[in-house]
């Protein structure tokens, strides 16, 4: 059962941290490898963090926003237009607004372009009016389409959206997702494909949402890929591999160094926690926020 954002979860987290100190598990880097996720540290604020709503759908949105604000987050995201006002009540934003397409049906289908462009224009005007920075879009599934054809189709449709986004000052972000486990047949499933799409659209208001979890599954080599392509990336998502759960020592990625590498590029956008908690949700979220606060 989800806990509130109040003292019980805070005491749980601090109790773990103080226990690590008391038992002498601190090492030269601050904490031994298998305990690196347990130590509470002061917020540096070098990396703006967000949280994806759908991972915490058992918690009322207002309660999640209150908890996010208390943890030092700046955003609760992947919200629809009827929810964008809620984070504002807590001094937060929605760093990635839901867009016109679905994962399966997206911009790689020319017969969908008129509908997607019209809905993008409607949403972008609302997003700009709310002062939100980004809108998410998807390529759609291949459905037998070649990657070359899908690339050109997406570019053609998004070039119609880009001038609207430029005029309104909102960045449209296509998410990189894995097609191996979670979203079989999804087309925008590798960084080089996504980067080529950004180049073909040719707009400062079209970039990638680089999902670390998904690209670890498809490609690996996460830090080098981020460093070499940061100019094409506007937003990040996290999750643990394997399983899409907590980003702690239970999985194969070392998120403190990934977060540090992102900061070192000069990135000024948002990194959003998108793991599905397998334990107490808000305790796990607080832990994840601390891990990425480098």
Residue 126 lies in a domain: yes
Can you give the CATH number for the domain in which 217 is found?
A: 3.20.20.150
For residue 30, being part of any structural domain is answered with no
CA pair distance 114, 62, nearest whole angstrom = 35
**Bridge-based pairing state of the strands 206-211 and 171-175:** parallel
| Spatial separation of the C-alpha atoms in residues 112 and 275, rounded to whole Å | 31
pLDDT of 14-68, one tens digit each?
Answer: 333 333 333 333 333 333 333 333 333 457 889 999 999 999 999 999 999 999 9
Q: Is residue 28 part of a domain?
A: no
Average pLDDT of span 115-131: 98
In 96-146, which residue ranges form alpha helices assigned H by DSSP?
Answer: 113-129
Residue 8 lies in a domain: no
pLDDT tens profile 235-263: 999 999 999 999 999 999 999 999 999 99
Q: Is residue 15 part of a domain?
A: no
Instruction: Residue count of the chain, please give it.
Output: 294
Range of the domain at 148: 45-292
Q: Mapping DSSP to helix (H, G, I), strand (E, B) and coil, where does residue 2 land?
A: coil
Structural domain count of the chain: 1
In a domain, 66, yes or no: yes
pTM of the full structure: 0.86
Q: Please count the other Cβ atoms lying within 10 Å of the Cβ belonging to residue 53.
A: 25
Would you tell me how many other CB atoms lie within 10 Å of the CB of residue 205?
Answer: 22
Q: Does 288 fall in a domain?
A: yes
Has residue 29 been placed in a domain? Answer: no
Q: How far apart are CA 174 and CA 137, in angstroms?
A: 5
Q: What is residue 44's predicted lDDT score, i.e. its pLDDT?
A: 81
């Amino acid at each position: 059962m989800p806990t509130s954002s109040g003292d019980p979860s805070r005491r749980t987290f601090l109790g773990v941290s103080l226990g690590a100190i008391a038992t002498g598990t601190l090492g030269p880097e601050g904490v031994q490898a298998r305990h690196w996720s347990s130590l509470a540290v002061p917020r540096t604020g070098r990396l703006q963090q967000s949280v994806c709503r759908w991972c915490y759908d058992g918690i009322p949105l207002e309660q999640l926003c209150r908890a996010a604000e208390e943890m030092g987050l700046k955003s609760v995201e992947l919200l629809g237009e009827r929810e964008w006002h809620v984070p504002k009540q807590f001094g937060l934003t929605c760093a990635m607004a839901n867009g016109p397409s679905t994962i399966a049906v997206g911009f790689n289908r020319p017969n969908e372009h008129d509908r997607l462009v019209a809905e993008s224009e409607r949403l972008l005007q609302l997003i700009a009016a709310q002062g939100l920075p980004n809108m998410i879009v998807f390529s759609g599934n291949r459905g037998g389409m070649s990657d070359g054809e899908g690339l050109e189709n997406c570019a053609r449709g998004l070039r119609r959206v880009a001038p609207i986004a430029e005029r309104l000052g909102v960045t449209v972000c296509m998410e990189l997702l894995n097609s191996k486990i979670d979203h079989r047949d999804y087309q925008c499933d590798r960084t080089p494909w996504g980067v080529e799409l950004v180049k073909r659209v040719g707009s400062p208001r079209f970039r990638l949402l680089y999902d670390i979890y998904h690209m670890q599954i498809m490609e690996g080599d996460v830090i080098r890929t981020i460093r070499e392509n940061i100019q094409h990336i506007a937003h990040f998502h996290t999750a643990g591999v394997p399983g899409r759960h907590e980003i702690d020592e239970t999985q194969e990625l070392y998120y403190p160094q990934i977060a540090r590498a992102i900061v070192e590029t000069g990135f000024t956008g948002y990194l959003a926690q998108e793991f599905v908690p397998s334990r107490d949700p808000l305790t796990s979220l607080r832990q994840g926020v601390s891990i990425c606060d480098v």
